[in-house]
């Protein structure tokens, strides 16, 4: 019994150590934030282009001949 209790304590301390250890990898949010901004900007440009084309087509079709 002491052996299994010892293993349980070791496992619990290992889990606690892993969960409380500071993260050593670098933060890569900068790349994903830049990518997100680029995608949003491209989407805004596409939407603006569609609106401009639609307004131009509407105005052109309603101009007197």
Q: 31 versus 16: which is more confidently predicted?
A: 16
Residue 39 and residue 35: Cα distance in Å, rounded? 6
pTM of the model: 0.50
Measured between alpha carbons, how far is residue 38 from residues 15, 26, 45, 64 in Å? Answer: 40, 22, 11, 41
Residue 21 and residue 23: Cα distance in Å, rounded? 6
Q: What is the pLDDT of residue 42?
A: 92
Mean pLDDT, residues 6-31: 73
Mean pLDDT, residues 21-32: 66
% pLDDT > 70, the chain: 83
- Range 49-58 contact pairs with CB under 8 angstroms and sequence separation of 24 or more: none
């Amino acid at each position: 019994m002491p052996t299994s209790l010892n293993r349980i304590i070791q496992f619990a301390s290992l889990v606690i150590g892993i969960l409380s250890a500071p993260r050593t990898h670098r933060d890569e949010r900068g790349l994903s934030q830049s990518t997100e901004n680029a995608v949003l900007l491209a989407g805004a440009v596409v939407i603006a282009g569609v609106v401009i084309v639609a307004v131009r087509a509407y105005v052109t079709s309603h101009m007197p001949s």
